[in-house]
Amino acid sequence: MRNSNMSRREMMLGSARAVAGLSLTPFATSCRSASTKMSRRKSGHKGFKIGACAWSLGKASDPACFELARRIGLDGVQISMGSVENDLHLRRPDVQKQFLEAAKENGIEIASLGILNLNSVPYKSDPRTVQWVSDSIDVCKAMHLPIVMLPFFGKGDLRNDKKGVDVVVERLKGVAPKAEKAGVVIGLESWLSAEQNMDIINRVGSPAVKVYYDVGNSHKRGYDIYNEIRSLGAEHICAFHAKDYGNLFGRGKVDFKKVRLAMDDAGYRGWIQIEGAKPLGLEASYRHDAQYLRSVFPAEPIYLIGDDFSAWRQNTGTWRIVGEAIVDPENKKLIAAGPGGGVIVNGSKGKTVNLFSRKHFGDVTAHIEFMIPRKSNSGVYFMGRYEIQIYDSYGVKKSEYPGIECGGIYQRWDKNRTPKGFEGHSPLVNATLPPGKWQSFDVIFRAPRFDKTGRKISNARFKKVIHNSVLVHKNVELTGPTRSAAYSDEKPTGPLMLQGNHGPVAYRNIRVTPLACEE
């Protein structure tokens, strides 16, 4: 909770702006922009999000699916309502809480709900399922989920079953008004063609009933999936499942680039959930498939600073969310802050814990804005391991410690070596602005690569670092974590870390966009 009481220092901001030659307008505009972007991200998105089904991850009824999704580098998970054996346990508030807390802790979204039991206990014939589907709307409403998927495979198959289709239509007519009122979409996934699905949708006559389109299943049935996507359009497709049966994506029969073109024509943007093959083992295969999909279906930026710390792991120490930050007029080595949102400051003294994003990232582009007072120091650690230095090096021609300058890639450290610091990289140009000025980094980062045994086969690399619109690094390879990293090992993904214990610093407008993995 933010403290609403303003300190004497904060109350002096009005006069301090005049002294510093600053006006309220840039701060206010910036913060409104950040908050607006955060709100836009929560309410809808213009890019694609890549997830996986909990059951495909081998954790159909297990909140541990989110930790696995985080390791793989996914945006979200489609969860299962449960099984007959556990009485569809997600209907219980305590189980809902477990899933919500696990998702939040790992920085993974819950994309949608699925009632997998309908494959063995058919909606078209078993009276129990009427209550299940009705209850699923309640679960979605309680957990703020937009979609519940009803599958029609196995015993629930609707092919050549007119009577079964008729029953499904009547049952959907009964539950659709409840879904409409709750703002929940019922997504139908089956072996049926687009035309057959539209017949059901038209007969039900509700905007709450749409198709949960599976490109692999429809391709296997021999349908022209690209034209089907176009004919259904975004108004009749709520989400996608991606599979290519025994193949890794990009190496099989489904042409995902043509799928993307069809989605563009249909006007679709949203979730794509992986139900992939596992020839490399589960994690390596799903990581490959997710990274391939990102090359075809780009994500929208993920904004990490808004009006709360929901994007960051606990403990956040004395970090504060504020509306503006300037150099303290009473002490040029500190930061004075005013109320609002969109900016974070590491406490009144500039000494607190490091901040870690909940979400883990691999290859990314990142935009980061920061401000430090005189003689201060911080750093941005990609994957919690590889630091781009933030330092008051304005006017410094060259430091005797490579990488310590602002925009430098900090050195590695080994106390048994002489010298102990090594592989630091100074910026090509010192682009640092004076203390108190907002500065920016724009970064393209490539994560290390590992083979299926976990052996590293390629080092991490800063492909490009731009500091205040000036190129300061290009294709700099890192043989391991830099000094003061949060982790000594290396992994395919990791959190973004902001250093909070080396001096006062303010951050705003941090946005990270996951990239496709290069082979």
- What is the rounded CA–CA span in Å between residue 189 and residue 237? 10
Residue 56 DSSP one-character state: T
**Which tens digits make up the pLDDT trace of 93-109?**
999 999 999 999 888 99
23 has a pLDDT exceeding 60: no
Separation of CA 363 from chain center: 13
pLDDT of residue 395: 84
Mean pLDDT, the chain, whole residue set: 89
Burial category of 156 from C-beta neighbours within 10 Å (exposed 0-12, middle 13-18, buried 19 and up): buried
> What does the buried/exposed string (b/e) look like for 338-363 if buried means 16 or more CB atoms within 10 Å of the residue's CB?
bbbbbbbbbbbebebbbbbbbbbbbb
Residue 403 has what pLDDT? 67
Percent of residues, the chain, with pLDDT higher than 90: 77
Total residues belonging to the chain: 519
Q: Looking at residue 223, what is its pLDDT? A: 97
Tokens 């993995």: give the residue.
Answer: 517
Q: Is the pLDDT of residue 160 over 60?
A: yes
How large is the average pLDDT for residues 353-365?
93
- The yes-or-no verdict on residue 127 having pLDDT over 50 is yes
Sign of CA dihedral 481, 487, 490, 496: negative
pTM comes to 0.69
Query: Positive or negative CA dihedral for 100, 103, 109, 113?
Result: negative
Nearest alpha carbon to residue 200 among 155, 154, 168:
168
Among 393, 375, 389, 310, smallest CA distance to 344 is for: 310
Average pLDDT over residues 48-74: 94
pLDDT tens profile 327-338: 999 999 999 999
pLDDT attached to residue 156: 97
8 Å CB contact between 451 and 390: no
For the stretch 178-213, pLDDT in tens is 999 999 999 999 999 999 999 999 999 999 999 999
